Structure 1
Amino acid sequence: MASLRLRDRDAIITREGLIFRVFGYTHPPEGYICDLEYAPAELFQSKNPKAFRTDGKRVFYKFYEDEGWHFVKKKFPQHMILHKPLGKKVVGVHKGDIAEVRLPEQALKRLLEAEPKDELIKAMQKVLEATVHATGLSLENFGVFGSLLHGFYHPKFSDIDLIVYGRENLEKIRQTLEELYSDKSSGFSNEFADTSPVKGKLWRYKNLNREEFVWHQRRKLIYGVFRDEASGRTIKVEFEPVKSRSEIKGEDGETEKITWMGWIKALLRVKDDLEAPYMPSIYQVEPLQIVEGRRIGNLERVVSYLEEFRMQA
């Protein structure tokens, strides 16, 4: 496993059966910084009704919010890895603890080649036909994540979670989706056409209200809904951006130290958003005004690990 070079949203399975998502592109040489996504029922059970997953043979539960972090820290501290620039341990998997790797692009290929196809995979084929094929792109630049990647999706209830690799492919897919959303006969619509996706949900943002959040999510275009006539379902469809291999730079070891200096509130001008769709999202900026907090002379970029803040500017 020493020669592995994984990227964001690739999956790692440990010997215990824990399923991790590789998080981002910069990792220590001895392993990968990750997010724990699923665990078999023998190790973890959740009271959250949304957490249950099964492949027909085994039961798994999904972790939500910071459940995975607390679980690893308490039960499997060996899956904490030192982030040297921070000087702290974060959730991660050492290369010697990797039992299996699942790649989203390979999983998509297997799902499309398998027979017979259930109603969700047939619906996914229609989505790909209307987006990827209609745009003239190659399926090699796409993958699946979540339950589709791990084989415990439910044909009647699961979403269609897709990955698009590379900025150029992302922009072409976004343009195609925008056209589909505007065509009422296409079967596609923008998930955030109104505020219904956030109604009734606990709101944790302090400086972003529901209407602003929905406006941003709507214009990103990667969150859609597909009305599948054959199954009678309205299925959520996502196209999550991940860097292509050629876009990944060798950044391991470049950051020597990260020091906590405190909070500031500032008005910034975004100069470059080339890496805004990815994890982490990076915005090259120039400060216009420091509203609150200490003055920073070399404020050059904003780095965010919140998925909701991707493609935000």
Structure 2
Amino acid sequence: MATIRDRDYLLDRAGVIFKVIGDVHPGTHFLGYVKYYPDARGDRLLFGRTYRQNSVVSKAFGILADRPECYLYSPTVGCVITGVPREDIATHYSCRQTLATLHQTPGLLATTPVGKDLLAVIDWIAAAGAMDVIGVTGSFLVGACNARSDIDLVCYGPRGYEAAQALFAERTLIRPYEGETLTRLYLRRAKYMVGGSFDALMRQEARKLQGLTAGAGAHINCEPLRADGDKTFAGVVAKEVGAISVLARITDHSEGLVTPALYGIEVDTVTESTVDEPSVFARRITHLRSYLGAYTGAFRTGDVVYLSGRLVHIQGPGAHDGFGIELTPWSAAESFLANLTR
């Protein structure tokens, strides 16, 4: 059985498909959220049943309300999250193995224009010798794609990142967002606009691996993940103190180019906080940790960003012990944000 990696999918015995989040998991569960689930109101057909897509992580709590065994506390993340019990896993969908399967059976992709675009991308990846460091996730991973689907790729480690950069520079396959298409990108990202301007958001988005396919004009992106065997967060324990919003300067982005992203930061101003004496914590906050792929690779050293997230104290191996701000998708109360301001 292939190693279960971040952004792989898991089908459980109840027919629910989970998207795996992170690479550090307890012995009982794989952490993740519900991506597809049986629902007559859905528009996807899987296993002869109608499925509904879920794109809001916190909604997984409600979807799993009758299955409390899928709720668990994660010391690594520092909060209650969702996950699939290991004994309930029926099928593992590997991003890398699926990419290889689609390359070997191109007929699976020939039915839609976006599928044909993905096939051309896969052919390029194979020719570049990068099949072992790039995978496909999203709807194409489980065959839930349709004519409106995006193409969601992942890449692993430094070599995968370099290959993905070369892929997204190949203009015969992928066009950048520019000119009138910037409005289309803005409409996709408008929910991230709090605390930032249109120009700053576009500058932030331009740093990511994303664009439009040359044929169908479908959105395509690639999320850089940590290399196989990466132990950055192994043994890390996070304790939530409260919630905090700040203006901060990025002091180190070297670990922020992959998911989960880890940025060094220096807080300039606290704008809101649920803890008393926030200034006491402000000077002790040294890093930003994000499980939200939207902020991977988005910032560079010297950037000033608006952050709204969980104030946590982190202990563990490495140089990032101490207080930090964490962005986690498992928040039903509010949306955690990180936006470039200048």
Q: TM-score range with shorter-chain normalisation?
A: 0.7 to 0.9
Say whether residues 1:269 and 2:250 are aligned partners: yes
CA deviation vs aligned residue, 1:253-279 (integer Å, no higher than 9, x gap): 431x4131442524323224324331x
SS of 1:271's partner is strand
Q: Unaligned 5+ residue runs, structure 1? A: none
Q: How many residues align?
A: 286
Aligned counterparts of 1:202 and 1:177: Cα–Cα separation in 2:
23
Aligned counterparts of 1:152 and 1:170: Cα–Cα separation in 2:
26
In the alignment, which residue of structure 1 is the partner of 2:184?
196
Say whether residues 1:128 and 2:128 are aligned partners: no
In the alignment, which residue of structure 2 is the partner of 1:91?
82
Q: Unaligned 5+ residue runs, structure 2? A: 272-277, 300-342
Which amino acid in 1 is paired with 2:248?
L
Aligned counterparts of 1:150 and 1:20: Cα–Cα separation in 2:
11
Shift of 1:39: 0.4
Aligned counterparts of 2:188 and 2:138: Cα–Cα separation in 1:
24
In the alignment, which residue of structure 1 is the partner of 2:102?
111
Aligned counterparts of 1:20 and 1:153: Cα–Cα separation in 2:
16
In the alignment, which residue of structure 2 is the partner of 1:26?
24
In the alignment, which residue of structure 2 is the partner of 1:64?
55
Say whether residues 1:281 and 2:261 are aligned partners: yes
Aligned counterparts of 1:149 and 1:219: Cα–Cα separation in 2:
25
Aligned in 2, Cα 1:93/1:249: closer, same or farther, shift over 3 Å? same
In the alignment, which residue of structure 1 is the partner of 2:71?
80
Shift of 1:206: 2.1
Aligned in 2, Cα 1:202/1:67: closer, same or farther, shift over 3 Å? farther
Shift of 1:62: 0.3
SS of 1:111's partner is helix
Aligned counterparts of 1:223 and 1:83: Cα–Cα separation in 2:
31
Shift of 1:107: 1.0
Aligned in 2, Cα 1:35/1:289: closer, same or farther, shift over 3 Å? same
Which amino acid in 2 is paired with 1:240?
E
In the alignment, which residue of structure 2 is the partner of 1:39?
37
Q: Does the 8 Å CA contact 2:207/2:297 hold for their aligned counterparts? A: no
Show the 5 A alignment for 1:288-303: 289-292=268-271, 293-296=278-281, 297-303=283-289
More strand by percentage: 2
Aligned counterparts of 1:101 and 1:207: Cα–Cα separation in 2:
39
Q: CA RMSD in A?
A: 2.8
Which amino acid in 2 is paired with 1:61?
R
User: TM-score, normalised on structure 2?
Assistant: 0.73
Aligned counterparts of 2:118 and 2:189: Cα–Cα separation in 1:
28
Aligned in 2, Cα 1:270/1:197: closer, same or farther, shift over 3 Å? same
Q: Does the 8 Å CA contact 1:282/1:304 hold for their aligned counterparts? A: yes
Aligned counterparts of 2:166 and 2:51: Cα–Cα separation in 1:
36
Q: 2:290 aligns with which of 304, 308, 313?
A: 304
Show the 5 A alignment for 1:163-312: 163-178=154-169, 180-181=170-171, 186-191=172-177, 194-199=182-187, 203=191, 205-220=193-208, 222-228=209-215, 233-246=216-229, 248-249=230-231, 251-255=233-237, 257-278=238-259, 280-285=260-265, 287=266, 289-292=268-271, 293-296=278-281, 297-312=283-298
Shift of 1:298: 3.3
Shift of 1:146: 1.4
Shift of 1:250: 6.8
Shift of 1:227: 2.2
Aligned counterparts of 1:187 and 1:86: Cα–Cα separation in 2:
37
Q: Does the 8 Å CA contact 1:28/1:252 hold for their aligned counterparts? A: no
Q: 1:17 aligns with which of 15, 21, 24?
A: 15
Aligned counterparts of 2:77 and 2:131: Cα–Cα separation in 1:
38
SS of 2:222's partner is strand
Aligned counterparts of 2:140 and 2:49: Cα–Cα separation in 1:
15
User: TM-score, normalised on structure 1?
Assistant: 0.79
Shift of 1:214: 2.5
In the alignment, which residue of structure 1 is the partner of 2:304?
none
